[in-house]
Structure 1
């Protein structure tokens, strides 16, 4: 084991894992050593005869488990972005062992007693120390540390099983998504698609040994090609494939896994003293309660549905779910003289990245990006950039742009290394993953506008991770509540079409000519177009998430038909528009059944209240100005979770967030 790279801190810049030296056989032994060493460290804490202090309890706990932290960060990056058969197999075996290991620490009564003692004497601590002890005590209490031994034993069984089930849901969803990619043998059916999209489909087919073209699926219900495909039969096939995921019986059916997850989460919530899982989750979010979540959703849903109905009538009234995106795009072209598909040559990926995303960050925050092709990624497609400002290096930014069969759908940011002074990590390593189809070699990657928005969004998360400057790892980076973490990323979307940003990167891939100013104005004018559909499909998914997770154990046990429950839940909330299906149906709702957003998918709209109010602040103060960026960086982004996030927001904004900018943005202000 002396050559195992995980046993020592990486010597690469910013402690980037040395993926060139890491081999498959290194992962499992490093997990075992890391878990053992952390358990031994916790045993030393609880066995310390000295009275509990912040240093010998909280700081010691923060310093435990460096090997486990290193191997877990690298491995779970692969599990989401490059899940080879080896990775899938090890993930299935290691997930329940990690759950048991976490419970061994979180349910340790002696550890909780020491943390509680420090918490009771917290008034003498510095603010960040006080925040750490408060967060640690809350997390231990919500994990079950104060339960009796019989309840803890039951909880351990539930947690191990839930860990296994979430891993299984993810694996089956990825497999079924790959299997359901739509194979096209007649090129005429692809009429309407851009040349680079056709090129990517041809390469996807060749990658699987198929003739013709393969339209791979993205994670949401709606597929990007639906807006441009002229062939109605192929549109039907694509949407049917998307909605079939997890429902076809056989090994990749996710319904029974989903039902067991729901039942076990409900049982766990009751064991922890909550009526249902949604209540357990909300109590530690900025929302504070599931009732507050329900109140926001109840306020927004009726207005969104009314707007969607109005849009449906504008599209002809009889429009189907498969045809909605196509008809909406046709109407956009007619009403605004804007053809989004025709604009793709103005959104070449490299220029968007360097002259859009990076250039905006440099103007706003004074950061610079230098590519480091000498540093290894976990896959040949991964690019590494050094990030610095006038005060020195901040860390590394990794970009993994393209889709592949081993990668889960969607887009996300994660951290390989968090900045935390206590563990001598002054630099961060953050990753952005997207799922852009990869065209043939030598063909430029042209992004649809929604992928441009996604790149800016995920980069907002990356900036949060790069800028957060704290002492303690638990408070570092994006380790903030789910209903706050989306706020900085959504704010970064404001620059996509901004007049001071768009001209810099929206240039024709062949001629270099900028997007004409009148087209840019029309494009900005369309930003509110289709908000009825977009808001309704999102809210339907958020309501569905809440419906599953507001079930008591008895109610959860009574559900046997996933499709029926979903239909009833949506109907009860007023979603009676078959042409606007939820952004995610239950059987492929990875956010909540394989990710960290269970009972928290509402977080996007909750965070958008802060986001829209912040955009208003930027507009009031001159927009893209360095002093504005510095204020947002230092009062919000740099704080991590070192103080209450809403307190940080109030320090930045001077007051609590107002909901009116959100209502206006989404066209809900007239009827919400």
Structure 2
């Protein structure tokens, strides 16, 4: 298909339901022309705003900015979803070209002195606006200031250079990591080495090998975190070590895909940029616009968690060593395997034996959707007539209890070489009453795809992940805001994980679990006795889980509290020293992400912000306590949470929204109890 102007599907709003992008017509060759025109049109619209002869008003400046850049928004939403969900060399090439251009484009707008003057002039009359509009004006002004509008011309010139280089480096980090992750998949010649894996997992490994031209072999692909799911089941210790080392050596092979120098350079540039704004480091700059406010506040919270978490991890390690005996010393690649042994011995819970009860389709429909139906009155209708960006991605229409339309939900659950690791939520269309749009949101997971005709059986961790990501989707689907800037998950970074973490609670809520946890062959429900043991067992492993998370969090802060001018040449050495100083350097408990594959902070938007998960979990645990005290899975509870918090997006201060919902400030005690950190 030609990418000529009349045919480019990005040049006009989609005529599909909910403005779902017309994926059947979108081709790779459409992206460059759409970005070109999108940026050009956007700059022309902004120029018209900046040079408007009329005095600045909220309508002719702020609302006009909100309405601008529609082509660029449409192509960006689709393209950057594809770079994560279904990329290839052509897409990566375009990404490498367009990312620095987009950084420069943003700078051209935010460093426009004429535009900044119009925005600033409106602050004097801000009190005349309704609360959401006033917040929008204040956020625009803050964005301009934090983007450098108040810097000198010389500083702005350097800022543009830094932003362009950072954009290119982040793209390089992502692409190099994806290539190295694919290349690091573990190839197994003899099926006997896969002892301990389920028949389905072995068949999936064989299918992956076949797709890679390795007929007769078996391939274990890698997920993003350090811990790889097969480590809990593989009886072959040598293969466990191979798999573990493949995981932790990603991005650190000294070859063309090595990410060490890229990560170091990113950290250095971020520190230099912070200095332009008068901040001592990048973390201080970032946290100024977070609910935490300062690195000291984050360290204060982490300091309450770290000593007990590490002590619990040591206690767990002693139990694992006792289970091993004198045969060998516990190593990191043994932890998951023997942790499952101890879990089975203590709670009579076998993670592998639970998987037949967690079939993906049933978990989705009778678990995730069911909980949303009971709590919020939602219904979900699959729309096979609506085509997504990949055959594995399925489209569902979401309706309210009265039948009114809410939006579209896309589920893309299976791993593939063209998809980055991890799990996430994206928006393709944002809800906005100003623009007259309803949300189109998607979830990506990385579940191993079974052979044709076989069920996809999940681990309980994957079940929890699906509930978690759907919590993000609900945050976007329930959005009821005027302005696109505030839609759905457009909240402060250290608040965004809160609603998704709350939604995890329904995965183990008795009524929900009983509805979806059924054997995929016999239909037999998971017995109540096993369910209770599963709940009881959740405290096991919290020492490990909390410590590996804290290690990654403290590593993130170490990189982003570097003063300007610091250059780290020995990335591995820096990492080791940082973990040692933080008190989390446990050989058997490596960080959840090491520097060279820490995509959250070097490829994504969590720089100096990985603490957000546990910061949000304080709110989450407190909210779970509220739901439990008020009867749990009840419509009035869901309606209250939806009305006071989920629907508000970024249109109100997030902590004000929490206080309105909860009736008070959050308390940390429920989190400490949940994670076994009360001593």
- The number of residues matched between the two structures is 667
Q: Give, in whole Å, the separation in 2 of the partners of 1:109 and 1:172.
A: 37
2:452 is matched with which residue: 427, 431, 441?
441
Alignment partner for residue 175 of structure 2, among 168, 171, 191? 171
1:647 corresponds to which of 656, 668, 674: 656
Superposed displacement of residue 654, structure 1: 0.2
Structure 1 unpaired stretches of 5+: none
Match of 1:569 in 2: 578
Q: Answer whether contact 2:194 2:236 (CA < 8 A) is retained.
A: yes
Indicate the SS of the match to 2:495: helix
Residue 472 (structure 2) pairs with residue 461 (structure 1)? yes
**CA distance, structure 2, for counterparts of residue 362 and residue 613 of structure 1:** 23
The answer to whether 1:180 aligns with 2:189 is no
Partner Cα separation in structure 2 for residue 112 and residue 631 of structure 1: 39
| Alpha carbons 2:226, 2:247 under 8 Å: kept | yes
Offset, 1:307? 0.7
Instruction: Answer yes or no: is the 8 Å Cα contact 2:110–2:147 preserved in 1.
Output: yes
1:376 deviation in Å?
0.8
1:375-390 map, 5 Å = 375-390=386-401
1:121 aligns with 2:125: yes
Q: Please, which of 657, 660, 664 is the counterpart of residue 666 of structure 2?
A: 657
Question: Using the alignment, how far apart are the partners of 1:119 and 1:624 within structure 2?
Answer: 44
Q: Which residue of 2 aligns with 1:419?
A: 431
Q: Is the 8 A contact 2:360 2:456 kept in 1?
A: yes
Q: Which residue of 1 aligns with 2:61?
A: 57
Q: Secondary structure at the match of 1:394?
A: strand
Structure 1 SS opposite 2:496: helix
Compare 137-146 and 232-241 and name the one that shifted more: 137-146
Q: Is 1:394 paired with 2:417? A: no
Match of 1:132 among 130, 136, 146: 136
CA distance in 1 between partners of 2:380 and 2:555 (Å) = 41
Whole-angstrom distance in 1 between the partners of 2:296 and 2:502: 26
**Aligned match of 1:497 in 508, 521, 535?**
508
Structure 2 match to 1:350: 361
Partner SS for 1:484: coil
**Counterpart among 317, 321, 334 of residue 332 in structure 2:** 321
8 Å contact from structure 2 (residues 226, 248) kept in 1: yes
2:6 is the alignment partner of 1:2 = yes
Which residue of structure 2 aligns with residue 625 of structure 1? 634
Pair 1:210-2:222 in alignment: no
The counterpart of 1:160, out of the listed 161, 164, 175, is: 164
* Structure 1 CA distance for aligned equivalents of residues 496 and 601 of structure 2: 16
Structure 1 residues 323-338: aligned runs within 5 Å = 323-338=334-349
Q: Per-residue deviation at 1:314?
A: 1.1
Query: Residues 2-33 of structure 1: CA distance to partner in whole angstroms, max 9, x if unpaired?
Result: 11111111011110000001111111101111
Shift of 1:424: 1.6
1:516-665 equivalences in 2 (<5 Å): 516-554=527-565, 556-557=566-567, 559-665=568-674
**Normalising to structure 1: TM-score of the pair?**
0.99
Equivalent in the alignment of 2:145: 141
CA deviation after TM superposition for structure 1 residue 120, in Å? 2.6
Once the two structures are superposed, residues 378-434 of structure 1 have per-residue CA deviations (whole angstroms, 9 ceiling, x without a partner) of 011000000010341110000001000010000000100010011121x10000000
Tell me how far apart the structure 1 counterparts of residues 112 and 330 of structure 2 sit (CA, whole Å).
Answer: 57
Contact 2:576/2:585 (8 A) holds in 1: no
CA drift of 1:597 comes to 0.4
1:500 shift after superposition? 1.3
Alpha-carbon distance, 1:623 to partner? 0.5
d(CA) in 2 for partners of 1:326 and 1:22? 45
Q: Distance in 2 between matches of 1:213 and 1:4?
A: 42
User: Counterparts of 1:102 and 1:272 in 2: how far apart (Å)?
Assistant: 17
C-alpha deviation, 1:482, in angstroms: 1.0
Cα deviation code 1:34-81 (max 9, x no counterpart): 101111111111101221111111000001100000000000010000
* Equivalence for 2:76: 72
Give the whole-Å Cα distance in 1 for the aligned partners of 2:428 and 2:655. 26
- The root-mean-square deviation of aligned C-alpha atoms, in Å, is 0.8
Q: Tell me, in whole angstroms, the C-alpha distance in 1 between the residues paired with 2:625 and 2:670.
A: 7
Alignment TM-score, normalising by the size of structure 2: 0.98
In structure 2, C-alpha distance between the alignment counterparts of 1:539 and 1:417, rounded to whole Å: 34
Note the 1:272-311 alignment, pairs <5 A: 272-311=277-316
Distance 2:87 2:607 in 1: 22
1:198 aligns with 2:202: yes
Question: CA offsets, 1:288-340, max 9 Å, x none?
Answer: 11111111112211111011011111111742100000000001001001111
Q: CA–CA distance in 2 between the matches of 1:469 and 1:337? A: 46
User: Of 96, 106, 109, which residue of structure 2 is paired with 1:105?
Assistant: 109
Q: Partners in 1 of 2:343 and 2:282 — Cα distance?
A: 41
Which of 441, 461, 464 does residue 430 from structure 1 map onto?
441
Provide the rounded CA distance (Å) in 1 between the counterparts of 2:200 and 2:468.
Answer: 23
Q: Distance in 1 between matches of 2:56 and 2:278?
A: 28
Q: 2: distance between equivalents of 1:87 and 1:404?
A: 16
Q: Secondary structure at the match of 1:469?
A: coil
Please show how residues 472-511 of structure 1 align to structure 2 within 5 Å.
472-511=483-522
Secondary structure in 2 matching 1:512: coil
Structure 1 stretches of at least 4 aligned residues deviating more than 2 Å after TM superposition: none
Residue of structure 1 equivalent to 2:265: 260
Residue 39 of structure 1 corresponds to 43
Query: Does 2:367 correspond to 1:363?
Result: no
**Partner Cα separation in structure 2 for residue 276 and residue 632 of structure 1:** 37
Instruction: Decide whether the 8 Å contact of 2:380 with 2:396 is kept in 1.
Output: yes
